Amino acid sequence: MLRCPPLAFSLAPRRLRQVALAASAWIAASAAAAMEADLPTVQVSAEADMPDAGTQALDLDAAQRRLARDMQDLLRGEPAVQSGTGTRNGQKIFLRGLDDVNVLVQLDGARQGANLLHHQARVGVDPFLLKRVRLTTGPAPADAGPAALGGAIAFETVDAHDLLRPGQRHGARLAALGDSADRTRGILGSAWTVTDQGLGLLAYTRRELSDRIRAGNGSRLPGTEGDLTTALLKATVLEADGHTLRLSWERWRNDGGYFRANFPWDSNNAIQAWDDQRQQRDTFSVRHRYQDRARGWLDVQTSLYHNLSRLELWGRPPLAATLGDDWRTRSLGWDVRNTARWSLGGWLHELTVGVDRFDDRNQASGWAIPTLRESARNTGVYVQDRVDGGALRLSFGARWDRWHTTYANGYGVRGQRTSPNASLEWDVAPTDPARGDTWTLFAGVGESVRGAKLNQAAWLTKYFLPPRYTTPRPFILGRDGVLRPEVARQQQAGLRVHTHGLWTAGDHAGLQVQRYRIRLRDYQIIPGEGPTAPTDRIVNAPGDIVSQGWELRAHWGNARWHVEGSWSRPRVRNYDGQPLDTTGESARVGVSTGPRLTLDVQHRWSEAWTLGYQLTAVGRLREAPAGRPPKPGYAVHGLQAIWQPHADGRFRLTLAVDNLTDKLYAEHASVRLRLPDGRETAMPEPGRSVRVLADWRF
């Protein structure tokens, strides 16, 4: 039983791009087609490449309607994604049951994923900044990047060019936001311009002050108040004599939230409950592309990035030794690739060859400890060929990675490995161009490898003996002196159907069903859970971690209605064969959740009014580790109303009600613990949440 705490884009020849894009974003594209007047006009540069069968686009329109404020809100409707812990600073994202520490996350091409402490400041993204989100849930292509064990999530922020309305050269936005669940008062503003020379400039900021979160039973959750600030500065030049350049700096900063944020409040001691802290991430990114339209073999893309995440304690914590503790994760990286396009024997090829590198470093410092560091470096060489033969589309490639990790205690590991992948899509039924009917089989297999892996920055002292933390503990690296890299083998197969005129002349409908399996071999166990537990070894797990399940998506819509539903059933087993839980050594591996059903309904009531409804229902999870009780199921409802009196979108008022029935519940992905008195406890999600956004565009 849950115990609440006491408190204009250019396409390649033929139908190559049309079919491939429809395959990857079939639901989102259909929704946008039905509701295109709801969103401001967006200009898209000629940067659409052939997507892979395992890559899909997130429906950002649905996230905007429910006034998504953070990552958990943003990804809620995706069947492959599970999330947990209602506090902003401790949110955990799981892709097909695997923890986000095992997922490649990128923002404007920059690798994310700080490894500070218990997911604090790990992945913080402002949904109001996003232009697109791509999810790679199947086997990752070689050019997706390194260490995509559980898949990949790529976030792209807006450009000034995206925000201009027809005939505009400059514009501005001002919005005010409120949320009853945590008494949020927020404001955001941005300004943009595009010069006569095509240079786009964008400045954006958002500030939110929030009180303690109110749970479904009416109690306020201690330590959950916060002060959020986000900002973006971006300069863009699009298609200038074949050159495209993007320079950006983005900041996400949150003050507040308690120290061990993803754990239930009533399991914390005085130090773990400390909430005078700051989590901050700064991302710098430079991306350049040169595409020679006269020479299909020349399309060079270069990206450079610097990402710095930081967690700092301040105020007067209960234990003086923790005062001023500062933990950081820094990532430097670059990627250079060229894509060549040609036609041979009726087949269109898109061959990408490239090199990427990252250099990650964790650092811990404070008044009572020396400055400790450990680093992980990885260099990858990759090739990926995407081939379109009309009814049959193929993608295959491989990447070679070499890594070197140096731990804080002086030990290290290095190695290299090649990871192949292949996928296909086959239109098995004749396509009717008049109706737009497609019946497509798709399948994929592949491997991803991670050899460069860091410990949590806050755990670097656990390699050493207290109180000075200068003498290393006795340490074991690997079994028999060998630490093998983690290798994920991914498989998926499914069927996708899309049609028009199913019931009426103007409607569209689609169905997708797929089966997947991920086997993670040689997972590297880094012990240290608990205040006094040491990190005295890093070894490979004795067994494999397996995630498998089914995912189903369906949609139907016309000019005024859009209905989308999904169902998923992940089954995840730890290396000991037990269902994955959210405690102990499995806390950073993944999680088992019950079957999940989502429904999203959007109705264009009039030219000015749009209404919406969402349902999220999760079934009871009976498969629990030995000695643990099942996780109870729950159902949460949401309503939205959007009033947009002007066709050009100059003003928009959005009302969204989440958890309409004020249900007390905890996500299955949230950490749950057994207290000394035998009761189970978990961090509950917010109760009824009434959100309002007044949005002006000038």
Q: Can you spell out the DSSP letters for 584-645?
A: GGGGGTB-----EEEEEEEEE-SSSEEEEEEEEEE--B----TT-PPBPPEEEEEEEEEE--
Give the range among 9-13, 55-59, 180-184 with minimum mean pLDDT.
9-13
Residue 213 DSSP class: P
Instruction: Report d(CA 369, CA 463) in Å as an integer.
Output: 12
Task: Order the strands of the 98-99 sheet from edge to edge.
Answer: 81-84, 92-95, 98-99
Return the SS3 of 180.
coil
Pairing of strands 524-525, 243-256: unpaired
Pairing of strands 152-157, 104-107: parallel
Beta partners for residue 296, in sequence order: none
CA dihedral 31, 35, 41, 43 (to 10 degrees): 20
Q: How confident is the model at residue 550 (pLDDT cuts 50, 70, 90)?
A: very high
pLDDT digits (tens, 9 = 90+) for 224-250: 888 999 999 999 999 888 999 999 999
* Residue 197 CB coordination number (10 Å): 7
* Residue 341 CB coordination number (10 Å): 21
- What average pLDDT score do residues 342-360 get? 95
Cα R_g (the chain), whole angstroms: 25
The architecture (CATH level 2) of 16-697 comes to Beta Barrel (2.40)
Q: How confident is the model at residue 59 (pLDDT cuts 50, 70, 90)?
A: confident
Instruction: Report d(CA 198, CA 576) in Å as an integer.
Output: 58
Beta-strand ranges (E) seen in 368-411 are: 372-388, 392-406
Pairing of strands 372-388, 392-406: antiparallel
Contact 180, 173 (CB under 8 A): no
Instruction: Report d(CA 273, CA 265) in Å as an integer.
Output: 7
Residue 34 DSSP class: H
Contact 427, 438 (CB under 8 A): yes
Contact 21, 28 (CB under 8 A): no
pLDDT of residue 15 exceeding 70 = no
Beta partners for residue 312, in sequence order: 278, 326
pLDDT of residue 198 exceeding 50 = yes
Instruction: Report d(CA 546, CA 47) in Å as an integer.
Output: 36
Nearest to 583 by CA among 681, 455, 486: 681
- What average pLDDT score do residues 14-18 get? 36
Give the range among 104-113, 307-316, 581-590 with minimum mean pLDDT.
581-590
Length of the chain: 698
Q: What is the pTM of this model?
A: 0.89
Sign of CA dihedral 32, 37, 40, 46: positive
- So what's the pLDDT on residue 269? 63
Take residue 134 and report the two structure tokens written for it.
């791509």
pLDDT of residue 6 exceeding 60 = no
pLDDT of residue 14 exceeding 80 = no
Contact 358, 375 (CB under 8 A): no
- Name the phi and psi angles at 21, rounded to 5: -65, -40
Take residue 429 and report the two structure tokens written for it.
């039924």
Give the range among 27-36, 134-143, 485-494 with minimum mean pLDDT.
27-36
Return the SS3 of 73.
helix
Nearest to 489 by CA among 98, 55, 106: 98
In terms of phi and psi (left: phi > 0; alpha: psi -120 to 50; beta: otherwise), the region of 577 is: left
Contacts of 530 (CB under 8 A, 6+ apart): none
- So what's the pLDDT on residue 180? 96
- So what's the pLDDT on residue 584? 58
- Which helix (H) or strand (E) segment holds residue 60: the answer is helix 60-65
Contact 685, 666 (CB under 8 A): yes
pLDDT of residue 47 exceeding 60 = no
- What average pLDDT score do residues 128-137 get? 94
Domain limits of the chain?
16-697
Cβ-in-10-Å burial (0-12, 13-18, 19+) of 117 comes to buried
* Residue 680 CB coordination number (10 Å): 17
- So what's the pLDDT on residue 13? 35
Take residue 34 and report the two structure tokens written for it.
């039905």
- So what's the pLDDT on residue 72? 85
* Residue of higher predicted confidence among 65 and 671: 65
pLDDT of residue 524 exceeding 50 = yes
Beta partners for residue 605, in sequence order: none
pLDDT of residue 276 exceeding 70 = yes
pLDDT of residue 393 exceeding 60 = yes
pLDDT of residue 287 exceeding 50 = yes
* Residue 645 CB coordination number (10 Å): 12
Return the SS3 of 460.
helix
Contacts of 547 (CB under 8 A, 6+ apart): 96, 97, 98, 150, 516, 517, 518, 520, 570, 571, 572, 573, 590
pLDDT of residue 98 exceeding 80 = yes
